[in-house]
Amino acid sequence: MARKVYFAGSIRGGREDAQLYHELIQHIQETDIVLTEHVGSVSGSVFGSGEDYDHRIYAQDTAWLKECDLVIAECTRPSLGVGYELAYAEAHRKPVYIFYRRSEAHLSAMLAGNDYFRIFPYETKEELFELTDRILKGGE
């Protein structure tokens, strides 16, 4: 049975890894459902506007976090929103898997020092996909 995955990645904190998010989301969707596939948009359409936009985003994202079976977060690019999502997932006892490129990022102590999170440094896209496959197949 396909699981519901909440994928977290930087949006307002920087879109340098948008293509990687897109490819990883597509990879996860081969076996599971990604509730937040918009995070992998490479068209720039993830940025909305309007008076109530931020409130709608908060309501939708927290509903998805409550609904998901697990969270996969790519944390190479620091993001206040992703940090909040991870804390929210922990508070709701959702399994959280964090990935980051060790050569490009120094993970926050608030994540690295928290034994609740499963943290996986990687360097290549292939390594990231292999680690994700192990998690989704129940090997981690």
CA–CA gap between residue 67 and residue 5 (Å, rounded): 9
Instruction: Render pLDDT for 36-88 as a digit per residue (tens, 0 to 9).
Output: 988 867 766 555 667 788 888 899 999 999 999 999 999 999 999 999 999 99
Q: What is the spatial distance between Cα 37 and Cα 58, in angstroms, rounded to a whole number?
A: 16
**pLDDT bucket at 17, cuts 50 / 70 / 90:** confident
pLDDT score, position 140: 63
Q: What is the pLDDT of residue 15?
A: 72
pTM, 2 dp: 0.92
Indicate if the pLDDT at residue 23 is higher than 60.
yes
Tell me phi and psi for residue 34, to 5 degrees.
-105, 115
Residue appearing with tokens 């999502």: 85
- H helical segments located in 13-124: 18-28, 53-67, 80-91, 109-112
In eight-state DSSP terms, residue 3 is: P
* Strand, coil or helix: 91: helix
pLDDT at res. 104? 93
pLDDT in tens, 79-132: 999 999 999 999 999 999 999 999 999 999 999 999 999 999 999 999 999 999
Question: At 74, phi and psi to the nearest 5?
Answer: -100, 115
